[in-house]
Amino acid sequence: MATVEGGDLFELEQFVGGMLKSLEPAARRSLFRRVATTMRRQNRDRIRAQKNPDGSRFAPRKDPPEPVMGNFAVKFLYPSGGSGPPRLVMMKSWEKQGPIFTGFDVEAGGIRSFEYAKVIKWLRVDPADENKGAGRIRNRRTIKQRAMFRKIGRSLQAGQSDHEAWIGFGGMVAAVATVHQFGLTDKPARHAREVRYARRELLGMTAAEREELLDAVIEHLMAG
């Protein structure tokens, strides 16, 4: 989480002296609301541009292993996710990539993904099942799919009090963001080995963004 506090901005103290401290709490909240909104927009725009605060581009995503395409039907029992009996899965069009395989689930009538290690039992596919209709899966990644953090920017939160302004992520998104922000290790899937992720700084501030923020603060104070 990135935080900007009134007493920590040396540049603001130079420009506006004791004006921040002299503001009423409501006025400070209004000011820090503008600061938080500006920081949120700046960071969302930079994440969309796939850039770190120093201007460098995010380390590219590692190419995943080539998928193993299935040209035959598979049938198996898989945990239902609750206390009920396992569910029957029948797939004709499928691919396996690492510990996950994905295909058109005939019974569910749509694309589904399964963990290979969680299959309870593989079943024999009857000749009659081979002729069942099934959808097809596509294996072409678009530019949007190759870009990282397409959705994480939407989860960027902002807030303020009469003492500070902040931006950050919450819940599971925060865990994912932390791994990339500091280049930590994590498991790409539940049963996969831990890997170290490249450092990609989702939150931060460039010199231009800091200058824009200072201008917004000064403009707000002068208007008040």
* pLDDT digits (tens), the chain, 224 positions: 554 444 444 655 565 556 777 788 898 899 889 999 999 999 999 999 999 999 999 998 876 555 566 667 889 999 987 778 999 998 877 888 778 888 888 888 888 889 888 899 999 888 776 655 444 444 444 434 456 787 888 899 999 998 888 999 998 899 999 999 999 999 876 667 888 999 999 999 888 888 888 888 888 888 86
Residue 138 structure tokens: 């596509």
Q: 118 near 76, Cβ under 8 Å?
A: no
Inter-CA distances, 169 with 47, 64, 144, 184, 223, Å: 13, 27, 22, 17, 31
Within 10 A of 40 (CB to CB), how many other CB atoms are there? 20
